[in-house]
Copies of this chain bind each other. A is one copy, B any other.
């Protein structure tokens, strides 16, 4: 069969990512050009190519959706990306804010056998170092009933399970606050003025976290 270039793979991943938020609605050209940091003209060009390869359903001016084949390719990339991130953090001891770019390259390594061996080697993880679910070999995601920390009411407890914002700046800031995955947080005060909140960390240290932080941090309510 015709093989898929790195660039085509990246477009599929971008479309998949946008489609996640858009819940099935067709993804439009501009959204893709923003995600891919390229021009709309380049996107149109690529959409024609992807369509010819039956990786997307595409109608002029009407946006795109992934075909089964395109969706499978995208979830495989996500699986590979997240498994490599686990490898980099668990085995090579990189921190969670350093691994994204390396995983962007590693996800394009072809061999399916390699990925599955890596998966076993890593102990069949369900989540990556940022708390994002790792799809299984068939492309199925494990979902969690998570909510932004901002949604917790006074007195409620939660376990930190993920982030909305994946930027290195945010991740490093969380490290400074010791707000890493698995930490237990309890809301002990809420300030309406700037929507910040006071929390305790693992029933111990107290912190004030801004609205921005509490909105970008996912917890599982206890």
Contacts and interface: CB of A to CB of B under 8 A. Distances in A.
A92 B114 CA distance: 8
Number of copies: 2
Interface string A106-124: 1011110010011001000
A46 interface: no
Nearest to A98: B113
A60 interface: no
A151 interface: no
A109 to B, nearest CB: 5
Contact of A114 (B102, B111, B121): B102
A102 B111 CA distance: 7
A105 interface: yes
A173 interface: no
A191 interface: no
B91 A121 contact: yes
Interface in A75-99: 88, 91-94
B118 A92 contact: yes
A4 to B, nearest CB: 14
Nearest to A106: B109
Nearest to A114: B102
A117 B105 contact: no
Contacts of A118: 92
A45 to B, nearest CB: 21
Interface in A126-144: none
Nearest to A120: B92
A88 B87 CA distance: 13
A62 B106 CA distance: 38
A109 B102 contact: yes
Interface string A22-42: 000000000000000000000
A121 B89 CA distance: 12
19 contacts: A88-B114, A91-B121, A92-B114, A92-B117, A92-B118, A92-B121, A93-B117, A94-B117, A101-B111, A102-B109, A102-B110, A102-B111, A102-B114, A105-B108, A105-B109, A105-B110, A105-B111, A106-B106, A106-B109
Nearest to A117: B92
